Amino acid sequence: MWSDNETIRDLVNFSHVAEIAAERIVGAKGEPLSIGISGDWGVGKSSMMKLLRISLEGRTDLNVKFVEFNAWLYQNYDDARAALMEAITAAIVDHAVEHRETLPEKTWTRATKLLGRVKKLRVLGLVGTAALDYYTHGHATGLLAGGMAAFGGLTDGSVSASDIEKAKIVASDALKGGKDLVGDKPSEAAPDATEEETPRKAIQAFRDDLEASLSEMGITLVVLIDDLDRCLPKTAIATLEAMRLFLFLKHTAFVIAADEGMIRQAVRTHFEDVTLTDDLVTNYFDKLIQLPIRVPPLGTQEVRSYLMMLFVDADPDLTSEQKEQARTVVCKRLSETWKGGRVDKAFLAGEIENCPPALTNRLALAERIAPILTTSKSIRGNPRLIKRFLNTLTMRLSMARLQGVAVDEEVLVKLLLFERCGDKDAYAELLRSVNGSDEGHAEILDDREASARGEEGAPALDKPWSDPFLAGWLALDPPLAGQDLRGALYVGRESHPIISRADELSSDAASVLEMLLRLSSASPTVDAEVASLPKQEIAKLTDKVLARARQETAWGVPSILNAMQSLAGASQQAAASIVAFLSEVPPAQVKPSIVPRLSTTPWGQRVLAALTGRSGISTPVQKAIATAGKGTA
């Protein structure tokens, strides 16, 4: 099984993106910086964060103190704003304690007072959702929204003195609104506030002490905020607003990983009472970010490499050194794809000394399914979804092994692709076809696979099978037409029931079906047993017998004709179905010997009449029908 969590093993050459972010933090030389890592769920934002941290930890030109903050963990347990402030100040205090002997007394004192200042800010009502809402009577939202546009100049990549002054004015106006509501003097709401320490002064003092502590300690604070897009809108926005308290402080760098779409939705939900244009909603996240980095989507080349490396990492016959060597050469090769480099089975198997045969087969499998995993609307090359796909495959293979079910891994992969990514109606049609066949064959795939593979004379694909995904799936090796798919579907039954027509029959009907399928000649005893069944069960038996009849390729007097004759004699509905079936048998398969059998029954005569009017019926058959007609006239 492959872990669904973030990883520090770079399998698709993403390290260079993390290196770029690390270089920007180092290159800022103490100036404030905010970086946004964006991308859809599961594409690797958290892994990119970890790679960034590893890159910074390996540098000797920057003394970094990390704070990892996951707002999702605090949701419903603590206010995200207060939790973020306390996490940051706790990191500074920890660093001060760790370096107590080398720090000047002034720096030590200032750093250790930071947590006290956060607590005071809690009391003053400047952090903590409940307190802020209480003091402002819900008017804080308007203050925050009103200042959004003024921060536009702070996000163009270069922050000027004018930009900072604009930010101060906005902050001052917002705090003045809070001050008017809270008051400068001690009150019941903020009993610890003094004439000298107003809310504005408390916040400014906290910022000044934090900035001074970082400067005197010679460290850069790198705050890694992850899983913001998992939070409820209230928590997501509260975390972003708390960031604003620390943004633009020297010696700080904030790195935020989030899905932009989720953040936009959170902004709309949070500011639902404020009129926001689409631009404001779209740009809210951008207004906090100086350097946006989007996790690159995986193309077919990367998906193929990723699949192959997942198989390499899971191979028990390879050593850790071989796996790491393979990872290194794959990442190097991916960096050369722009000039024609390619990661495929031949390349990777050639780089692994004595590559195990089982792994070689899996590398070939990865090569075949990579294009469809890249273009499928349900997966689109998403690394986390690819892992889940492979984990499901592994689980079903284990189930097959434990229960002694013979399945081909490649057949299981192909069916799982259809189940995960294909049209639901088409998949249901496939299941019905397999469930209705005694041998577990999906007869509906015969012509469709031939068409998708470009075989001459094959009919064009109909909807929904003409969909590009399904057309590609039908052409994918191995072909499934003619294979027994019951075992593969059985181990995947957690997602769909296995219901055959035999399962729908009563015990009496099941017994009669067994007799019908063994008939080698007409039997009055069997005819009587069929006639004793309810009409609904005769109809089910007819479907089952006709499914077997479709396997016949020569219609003289095959054994199955005895069962058909018994059913047709017991039910007009069964007779109609059998007439329709025999009337459509390919002309080349009709032999003269069937004519005498059909000519003795009314339903058989209707079949002969239908055959007479068809082109392609051989001359001997036509003569036999003409002779039979004279005998019945």
Q: What is the dihedral of CA 134, 137, 143, 145, to 10 degrees?
A: 100
Share of the chain above pLDDT 70, in %: 82
Q: What values do phi and psi take at 66, rounded to 5?
A: -95, 145
Cα–Cα distance measured from residue 527 to residue 512, given in angstroms and rounded to the nearest whole number: 10
Do 482 and 575 fall within a single domain? no
Cβ atoms within 10 Å, residue 299:
16
268-302 per-position pLDDT tens digit: 887 777 777 777 776 776 777 888 888 878 888 88
Cα–Cα distance measured from residue 291 to residue 276, given in angstroms and rounded to the nearest whole number: 24
With tokens 């250790």, the residue in question is 112
Coil vs helix vs strand at 533? coil
Does 614 fall in a domain?
yes
Label residue 4 by pLDDT band (50, 70, 90).
low
74: tokens are 């605090």
**b (16+ CB within 10 A) / e for 457-471:** eeeebeeebeeebbe
Asked whether residue 631 carries a pLDDT value surpassing 80, the answer given is no
Closest CA to 612 of 632, 628, 597, 600: 628
**b (16+ CB within 10 A) / e for 75-96:** beeebbbbbbbbbbbebbbebb
363: tokens are 């590398």
Is 41 within 8 Å of 229 (Cβ atoms)? yes
Q: Tell me the average pLDDT across 28-50.
A: 85
User: Considering 237, 272, 294, which residue would you say is the last residue of a domain?
Assistant: 294
Report which DSSP code applies to 250.
T
The amino acid present at 599, given as its one-letter code, is S
Label residue 145 by pLDDT band (50, 70, 90).
very low
Do 511 and 455 fall within a single domain? no
Do 549 and 597 fall within a single domain? yes
With tokens 């009709």, the residue in question is 590
591-604 per-position pLDDT tens digit: 999 999 999 999 99
Cross-strand pairs, 38: 258, 294
Share of the chain above pLDDT 90, in %: 21
With tokens 């003289």, the residue in question is 556
Cα–Cα distance measured from residue 415 to residue 487, given in angstroms and rounded to the nearest whole number: 11
Do 496 and 515 fall within a single domain? no
Asked whether residue 262 carries a pLDDT value surpassing 90, the answer given is no
Mean pLDDT computed over every residue of the chain = 80
Q: Tell me the average pLDDT across 493-501.
A: 54
383: tokens are 């690394």
105: tokens are 């007394």
Report which DSSP code applies to 296.
P
pTM: 0.61
Is 124 within 8 Å of 193 (Cβ atoms)? yes
With tokens 């009409």, the residue in question is 535
Label residue 174 by pLDDT band (50, 70, 90).
very low
Q: Domain residues for 229?
A: 23-294
Helices (H) then strands (E): counts for the chain:
31, 5
Q: What is the CA radius of gyration of the chain?
A: 36
Structural domains of the chain, count: 4
Distances (CA, A) of 94 to 111, 153, 222, 225: 9, 35, 15, 19
Cα–Cα distance measured from residue 239 to residue 70, given in angstroms and rounded to the nearest whole number: 10
Using a 10 angstrom Cβ sphere, with 0-12 exposed, 13-18 middle and 19 or more buried, the burial of residue 553 is exposed
Does 547 fall in a domain?
yes
Cross-strand pairs, 67: 223
Does 481 fall in a domain?
yes
Closest CA to 410 of 470, 493, 485, 347: 485
Q: Tell me the average pLDDT across 247-259.
A: 85
Query: What is the pLDDT at residue 326?
Result: 92
Query: What is the pLDDT at residue 134?
Result: 36
List, as own/partner pairs, every contact residues 169-177 make where C-beta atoms lie below 8 angstroms and the sequence separation is at least 24, other chains included.
171/147, 172/200, 173/143, 173/146, 173/147, 174/143, 174/144, 174/146, 174/147, 175/199, 175/200, 175/203, 176/200, 177/136, 177/139, 177/143
Cα–Cα distance measured from residue 608 to residue 590, given in angstroms and rounded to the nearest whole number: 11
Q: At what angle do helices 619-632 and 602-612 cross, to 10 degrees?
A: 140
With tokens 């009669």, the residue in question is 512
Query: What is the pLDDT at residue 449?
Result: 92
The amino acid present at 13, given as its one-letter code, is N
Cα–Cα distance measured from residue 165 to residue 542, given in angstroms and rounded to the nearest whole number: 85
462-481 per-position pLDDT tens digit: 888 988 889 999 998 889 98
Q: Tell me the average pLDDT across 119-126.
A: 65
Is 35 within 8 Å of 256 (Cβ atoms)? yes
User: Considering 313, 343, 372, which residue would you say is the last residue of a domain?
Assistant: 372
Query: What is the pLDDT at residue 528?
Result: 93
376: tokens are 């499928």
Do 173 and 40 fall within a single domain? yes
Do 421 and 547 fall within a single domain? no
Do 496 and 403 fall within a single domain? yes
Is 525 within 8 Å of 516 (Cβ atoms)? no
Is 445 within 8 Å of 404 (Cβ atoms)? no
Using a 10 angstrom Cβ sphere, with 0-12 exposed, 13-18 middle and 19 or more buried, the burial of residue 556 is middle
Closest CA to 543 of 584, 523, 499, 573: 573
Complete edge-to-edge strand list for the sheet that includes strand 252-258: 64-70, 220-226, 252-258, 33-38, 291-294
Cross-strand pairs, 555: 590
Is 632 within 8 Å of 605 (Cβ atoms)? yes
Cα–Cα distance measured from residue 552 to residue 559, given in angstroms and rounded to the nearest whole number: 10
Do 32 and 156 fall within a single domain? yes
Residues whose CB is less than 8 angstroms from the CB of residue 360 and which lie 6 or more positions away in sequence, other chains included? 345, 349
Q: Lowest-confidence range among 392-406, 492-506, 523-537, 558-572?
A: 492-506
Label residue 198 by pLDDT band (50, 70, 90).
low
Does 472 fall in a domain?
yes
Peptide bond into 464 cis (omega under 30): yes
Do 174 and 153 fall within a single domain? yes
Does 211 fall in a domain?
yes
User: Considering 251, 276, 294, which residue would you say is the last residue of a domain?
Assistant: 294
Do 212 and 316 fall within a single domain? no
Residues whose CB is less than 8 angstroms from the CB of residue 37 and which lie 6 or more positions away in sequence, other chains included? 21, 45, 48, 49, 255, 256, 257, 258, 293, 294, 295
Does 11 fall in a domain?
no
Do 482 and 537 fall within a single domain? no
Query: What is the pLDDT at residue 336?
Result: 86
Query: What is the pLDDT at residue 222?
Result: 93
Do 353 and 208 fall within a single domain? no
The helix or strand, by DSSP H or E, that contains position 395, with its residue range, turns out to be helix 383-403
Query: What is the pLDDT at residue 186?
Result: 40
Q: Lowest-confidence range among 138-142, 242-246, 590-594?
A: 138-142
Does 12 fall in a domain?
no
Asked whether residue 424 carries a pLDDT value surpassing 70, the answer given is yes
Asked whether residue 499 carries a pLDDT value surpassing 60, the answer given is no
Is 473 within 8 Å of 417 (Cβ atoms)? yes
Does 388 fall in a domain?
yes
